Chain A
Amino acid sequence: DAKTTQPPSMDCAEGRAANLPCNHSTISGNEYVYWYRQIHSQGPQYIIHGLKNNETNEMASLIITEDRKSSTLILPHATLRDTAVYYCIVTIGANSKLTFGKGITLSVRP
């Protein structure tokens, strides 16, 4: 599976958009980009995934660059409850093996 690189942390103001970057320069053509998050002391929670096209659901939007070497997870209106560790994972299709890195810690401030 391709390796991902995320900054260790970032913060944003409540109500503003949070843009979380992820680099995956070695991604191959059949690998998907997944995002999960883990709120303190809870199990990870699926957010969104994509292959080539941008994706949006009720939680977030996923923007993948045309060369697929990087992506951005967008939380359009961050709330305090969005404070969590966000993991960007690249893996083949619905491949069952998710390899979690260190993730990025998002802190939403009032």
Chain B
Amino acid sequence: DAGVIQSPRHEVTEMGQEVTLRCKPISGHDYLFWYRQTMMRGLELLIYFNNNVPIDDSGMPEDRFSAKMPNASFSTLKIQPSEPRDSAVYFCASRRTETYEQYFGPGTRLTVT
């Protein structure tokens, strides 16, 4: 089992540019979550999907953020336009309905200059 895969692992971009983060959940998992972690705010849930459908996006900070899950094996988190305050580590996690355990990916460290 490869675990949750995220790409890229590191992203450095300039303010105003579009950023796309990618996630491949564990095969067979039907929940997918996007989290953001900063020193100031800790680890926050941004949005989660069940069977590719967004269930709760109340944590998405603003309209510059969008997330999609076109199929069971792929999800994207897009920031457009990016701002320096978006600098953070973004984690993707997945879970099966039958279990309580969320499996986290290694994260993408985003730096917006």
A interface residues (Cβ-Cβ under 8 A, vs B): 32, 34, 38, 41-46, 49, 87, 93-94, 96-102
Per-position binary interface string of chain B over residues 86-109, scored 1 when its CB falls under 8 Å from any chain A CB and 0 otherwise: 000001010101011111111100
Provide the bound-state CA to CA distance between A101 and B97, in Å: 24
Provide the bound-state CA to CA distance between A93 and B104, in Å: 19
Contact B56 A97 (CB under 8 A): yes
Please give me the residue from chain B that is nearest to A101 by CB atom. Answer: B42
Chain B's interface size range is 20 to 34
Contact B93 A49 (CB under 8 A): no
Provide the bound-state CA to CA distance between A7 and B105, in Å: 27
Q: Are A97 and B43 also in contact (CB < 8 A) when A43-B107, A49-B100 are?
A: no
B interface residues (Cβ-Cβ under 8 A, vs A): 4, 31, 33, 42-45, 48, 50, 55-56, 91, 93, 95, 97, 99-107
Which of B33, B45, B107 interacts with A99 by CB under 8 Å? B45
Given contacts A43-B107, A100-B44, 9 further A-B contacts (CB under 8 A): A34-B100, A44-B93, A45-B104, A46-B102, A49-B100, A87-B43, A96-B56, A97-B48, A99-B45
Q: Are A42 and B106 also in contact (CB < 8 A) when A97-B45, A99-B45, A100-B42 are?
A: yes
Contact B100 A43 (CB under 8 A): no
Provide the bound-state CA to CA distance between A101 and B45, in Å: 12
Provide the bound-state CA to CA distance between A87 and B44, in Å: 13
Contact B42 A98 (CB under 8 A): no
Q: Which of A32, A94, A101 gathers the greatest number of chain B CB atoms within 10 Å?
A: A94
Provide the bound-state CA to CA distance between A34 and B97, in Å: 16
A98: chain B residues at CB < 8 Å are 45, 102
